[in-house]
Amino acid sequence: MTKKQIYTLEYPVRCSPGILYEFLSTPAGLQEWFADKVDERDTVFSFTWNGSTDRAEVVEGEEEKFIRFHWMHAPKDEYFEFRIEKSEVTNLTILVIKDFAEKREIPDQSRLWDYQVKELFHRLGN
């Protein structure tokens, strides 16, 4: 098995960090754009797509700044993260997504994130 590598995607978003964080860190918010159904118990989120469920644990986070998830089936050092940054120059809110994939899969995974984020922006009215 090929070792996965980290990659980063950035999306400018017209939205306050507080509202964006709700969409990134709560079952109700994530269910709006990320998965068909999202449940949380303690720090473990269950994400359901087309009847198939995958679980991820929140391993780190800071209100209105970032949240990092670890897929239960993935190696310990892999995660996906949503980070909220503010551009000093434009004062825009930037959504930064970090994820892991095999090098040859990064273009496909990036397109999948683009699709998901487009759905998020639709929900946010962007």
Query: Residue 69 carries which side chain, given as an amino acid letter?
Result: F
Domain count, the chain: 1
Instruction: Quote the pLDDT of residue 2.
Output: 64
Q: Which residue segment(s) compose the domain that 67 sits in? A: 5-124
Q: Whole-angstrom Cα distance, residue 84 to residue 120?
A: 14
**In this structure, what CATH number is given to the domain that contains residue 17?**
3.30.530.20
**3-class DSSP string for 51-65:** CEEEEEEEEEEECCC
- Res 91: pLDDT: 84
- Rounded distance between C-alpha atoms, residue 69 and residue 58, angstroms: 4
Which band of pLDDT confidence, cut at 50, 70 and 90, is reported for residue 110? very high
Backbone angles phi, psi at 48, to 5 degrees: -115, 130
The per-residue pLDDT for range 67-93, each reduced to its tens digit, is 999 999 999 999 999 999 998 888 889
- Mean of pLDDT over the chain: 95
Does the model's pTM come out above 0.75?
A: yes
